[in-house]
């Protein structure tokens, strides 16, 4: 399963990276070699019998309601407020959206 040139362009576009034609031609082969190397590393048993990258298990506490911050403390450092609400810039919709 190789990485296609189209996939390289798609990921570059999502990451806002401008690629030259030469980069787009060479990257699929380079990425395939990286993926193959990682697969080889996954096959190597870790020293001491422990997984090398295992996330430690942390016991979860019960999710119980507790005291809230007073409204003025919670919104005190807010750059903009509308009464008891935090005002944020619109991020959905075009300029002509109301």
pLDDT at 15: 92
pLDDT tens profile 15-45? 999 998 898 889 999 999 999 999 898 888 7
pTM score, whole prediction: 0.44
Residue 97 has pLDDT above 60, yes or no: no
Tokens of 9: 């362009």
Q: How confident is the model at residue 54 (pLDDT cuts 50, 70, 90)?
A: low
Helix (H) or strand (E) holding 28: helix 21-43
Q: Are 28 and 3 in contact (CB under 8 A)?
A: yes
Domain of 35? 5-49
Kindly write down the DSSP assignment for every residue of 29-85, as one continuous string.
HHHHHHHHHHHHHHHSPPGGGS-TTPPPP-PPPP----PPPPHHHHHTT-S-EETTE
**How many domains would you assign to the chain?**
1
**Residue 87 domain flag:** no
Lowest model confidence (mean pLDDT) among 12-21, 32-41, 56-65, 77-86: 56-65
**Residue 38 domain flag:** yes
Q: Which carries the bigger pLDDT value, residue 61 or residue 15? A: 15
Q: Which carries the bigger pLDDT value, residue 43 or residue 93? A: 43
- Cα–Cα dist 25/60, whole Å: 48
pLDDT at 49: 64
**Residue 73 domain flag:** no
């Amino acid at each position: 399963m190789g990485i296609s040139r189209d996939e390289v362009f798609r990921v570059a576009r999502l990451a806002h990276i401008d690629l030259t034609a030469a980069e787009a031609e060479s990257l699929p082969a380079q990425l395939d070699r990286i993926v193959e190397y990682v697969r080889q590393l996954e096959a190597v048993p870790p020293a001491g019998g422990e997984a090398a990258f295992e996330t430690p298990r942390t016991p979860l506490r019960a999710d119980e309601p507790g005291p809230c911050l007073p409204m003025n403390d919670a919104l005190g450092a807010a750059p903009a407020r509308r009464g008891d609400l935090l005002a944020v810039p619109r991020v959905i919709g075009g300029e002509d959206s109301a």
